Amino acid sequence: MILSHIWGIYTHPKQEWKLIADRHESFINSLSHTLFIALIPAICGYYSSVHIGWSIGAGNPIFLTHESALAMAILMYGGLVGGVLALGLMAHWMAHSFGANPSHVQAIEVSAYTATPLYMVGFATLYPELWFVMCVGLAGIAYSVYMLYTGVPIVMGIHEDRGFIYASSLVTVGLVFMVSMLGLTVFAWSSGIGPAFVH
């Protein structure tokens, strides 16, 4: 069932990982979870940009046009879903170097459920104060990293010692993905493909 593991991820993560590992529901289930969870930051970001306005510091809130915010939300959604799938494929490929032979479903499960706390940070954008969103975002990243370290040995069947190194490698890959996305965003904006503000 979609979203059936969210409560457990926050209340008892290790037990929830064991439940996920025992069920191995399906690729469709993990993908459906990702497709739904990725809507949170996309929709909340769109709404706050168009209807609430972002407070960057002193001065009036900054608003985006409907068209610009919608385009950014769609691109964000595609990037979030694509990031989970790419990290899952990388997790599957790297696992063989650490003596594990997981299925693609197991790798996508690790990627999808690890990303969940980070994507839930999207709710914070409904209070679009930059300092607040950054603080909540850092907490979301920290909890996602914790989820990765606790979930890898359980779901991927890797010994905890090697699992720590494996999870650290995946964190590095995830950071590379994030920096790449930021780099593409900066390149697009410098090329004239950027947000349109309401004046």
DSSP string, 151-195: HHHHHH---HHHHHHHHHHHHHHHHHHHHHHHHHHHHHHHTT---
Average pLDDT over residues 88-92: 90
d(CA 112, CA 166): 17
Q: Which residue has the higher pLDDT, 15 or 2?
A: 15
Has residue 1 got a pLDDT over 70? Answer: no
Q: Are 112 and 84 in contact (CB under 8 A)?
A: yes
d(CA 199, CA 183): 27
Average pLDDT over residues 180-190: 78
| pTM greater than the 0.85 cutoff | yes
d(CA 4, CA 8): 8
Residue 83, SS3 per DSSP: helix
For 152-169, the pLDDT digits (tens) are: 888 888 887 888 888 998
Q: What is the per-residue pLDDT for 69? A: 87
Average pLDDT over residues 68-78: 89
d(CA 141, CA 194): 26
Average pLDDT over residues 78-102: 88
Q: What is the per-residue pLDDT for 2? A: 54
Q: What is the per-residue pLDDT for 6? A: 83
Q: What percent of the chain has pLDDT over 90?
A: 35
Q: Are 17 and 116 in contact (CB under 8 A)?
A: no
Q: What is the per-residue pLDDT for 199? A: 65
For residue 54, the cross-strand partners are 62
Average pLDDT over residues 118-127: 93
d(CA 5, CA 64): 35
Question: What are the structural domain ranges in the chain?
Answer: 26-190
Average pLDDT over residues 108-128: 92
Has residue 127 got a pLDDT over 70? Answer: yes
d(CA 197, CA 35): 28
**Residue-averaged pLDDT of the chain:** 86
Average pLDDT over residues 22-37: 84
Has residue 11 got a pLDDT over 70? Answer: yes
The pair of structure tokens assigned to 126 is 């409904």
